[in-house]
Amino acid sequence: MIIAIDGPAGAGKSTLARALARRLGYLYINTGAMYRAVAWKALQEGLSLEDEAQMGALAADSLIELKGAPDDLRVMIDGRDVTSEISLPEVGKAASIISTISTVRRALVARQREMGAMGGVVMEGRDIGSKVFPGASVKIFLDASSGDRSRRRHRQDTRSGVSGSLASTKAEIEERDRRDSTRLDSPLIKSEGAHYLDSSGLSIDEVVALALDLVVEAQSGRS
């Protein structure tokens, strides 16, 4: 089975996707990490994020690998482990900017389809159910109130040593959501057939239980 999880920043996609992959013994693929890895390399090389041709070539020519168990996913670009570097807020913002470029998306979507081709994967992102695997067995659109999402992201950032106010995290998240939802190529949308889950006020265990119900329902429909 392919399980697709999409939704805005800070809705809890990674936590849910990791928990599902662990429970089901599936591969966990974080596609946001792939956009972040390309963005990190662009920043590192001092390239212009707005240069479409250069960004497209960068995405197509970089070797991006995701390795390890769901709870210890390592993100590699050209053989270098960039897992901690790509979690910085400025890399998230750069990832959102380059993800509006169609040639970048084309290169990464092709790679994502290869990675998921064998099935047995939980893939999270913004366009998994709408574009990468529209025929996924289970499609979830995970949402939460903007207050909940900002608090969650602010807590994560503080834990990883990034300082900043809750208000600035909220402003950043809102700007990123606006960019991700209004871009022309594969904007963030709830795709046809996706189940809408609102994680506001729910515990992780409650969200995982709701998602597992959907998986069981899909499995029984197939047998």
36 binds ligand DC (CB under 6 A): yes
Q: State the virtual CA torsion across 11, 194, 216, 145 in degrees, nearest 10.
A: 20
List binders of ligand DC among 99-118 (CB under 6 A): 99
User: Which tokens hold the place of 37?
Assistant: 């890895």
169 binds ligand DC (CB under 6 A): no
**Using CB under 6 A, which of 56, 89, 116, 125 touches ligand DC?**
125
126 binds ligand DC (CB under 6 A): yes
176 binds ligand DC (CB under 6 A): yes
Beta strand 138-143 with 2-6 is: parallel
**Using CB under 6 A, which of 5, 29, 32, 136 touches ligand DC?**
32
95 binds ligand DC (CB under 6 A): yes
User: Which tokens hold the place of 94?
Assistant: 């750069």
Whether residue 57 contacts residue 141, with contact meaning beta carbons closer than 8 Å, is answered with no
Whether residue 33 contacts residue 73, with contact meaning beta carbons closer than 8 Å, is answered with yes
96 binds ligand DC (CB under 6 A): yes
> How many residues belong to the site for ligand DC (CB under 6 A)?
14
**Using CB under 6 A, which of 180, 191, 197, 215 touches ligand DC?**
180
Burial of 127 (0-12, 13-18, 19+ CB in 10 A): buried
User: Which residues in this chain contact ligand DC in the complex, by CB under 6 A?
Assistant: 9, 31-32, 35-36, 92, 95-96, 99, 125-127, 176, 180
